[in-house]
Structure 1
């Protein structure tokens, strides 16, 4: 079965965002490539050369990936509520650690608590504008 891996776009702060996610989830970057390392890197501004062309961080068995949108290349980005990343931790301890980590500087829409469907659930928009849903269901093991 194919895996689904979220790919996030940012306006110049991909590296900051992914260092934050790495501090929450742990692990190491599988890839961290800057635009200066691409075939067209020489023709870019000094600022764009240092931006992130591609980054990948393993989160459990999934890969979280991202890039910087280059406005100088005519790319645009609009953050909205059309995408959330749902994560299913394997323990209540991991649930608390992930939610509390992501909550730093975040807007918490639903505090982490036991829900009517039996799971511990919380929802927030992190300080980078990314929506997260954390759902731990101890009966889904």
Structure 2
């Protein structure tokens, strides 16, 4: 695969234990498309760089590399937000793929449809939909 240029102003870059499995999961849960996946030449299958596209936006990932100063740590203090046209469809697909509900999807006090999920890799995802006013 060829790494496509990134056209957004901000690209999240996650370190996850088991990027190959995470890519397969994100394809099922969030309709991700793998743009580029580069494995190291160490022979252990770790991914040094992956470029996915989800909902028109880039997401970069790599495995942890404790041997190079990047030890495994649990994801914390952030979430990835998907603003979509049909939140219920995105929600249902993610839950069916194996995400767990952190905050149920519902119409929130500010008027939008919104909920939070956790994926098997410990990443929190928010799914939102603007409700016409």
TM bin (shorter chain): 0.7 to 0.9
Residue matched to 2:4: none
Extract unaligned runs of 5+ from structure 2: 1-6
Contact 2:38 2:48 in 1 (8 A): yes
Match of 1:7 among 10, 13, 18: 13
CA distance in 2, matches of 1:111, 1:4: 27
Cα offsets for 1:33-92 (capped at 9, x unmatched): 1011xxxxxxx3x32xx11111111123310110001123332132243110011002x2
Tell whether 2:111 aligns with 1:136.
no
**Aligned CA distance change for structure 1 residues 57 and 135 (closer, same or farther; 3 Å):** same
CA distance in 2, matches of 1:27, 1:109: 21
Tell whether 2:104 aligns with 1:111.
yes
Q: Taking structure 2 as the reference length, what is the TM-score of the superposition?
A: 0.82
Residue matched to 1:126: 119
Extract unaligned runs of 5+ from structure 1: 37-43
C-alpha displacement at 1:127, in angstroms?
A: 1.1
How many pairs align?
126
C-alpha displacement at 1:7, in angstroms?
A: 1.1
Range that drifts further, 110-119 or 100-109: 100-109
Residue matched to 1:39: none
Residue matched to 1:83: 78
C-alpha displacement at 1:102, in angstroms?
A: 2.7
Q: Taking structure 1 as the reference length, what is the TM-score of the superposition?
A: 0.78
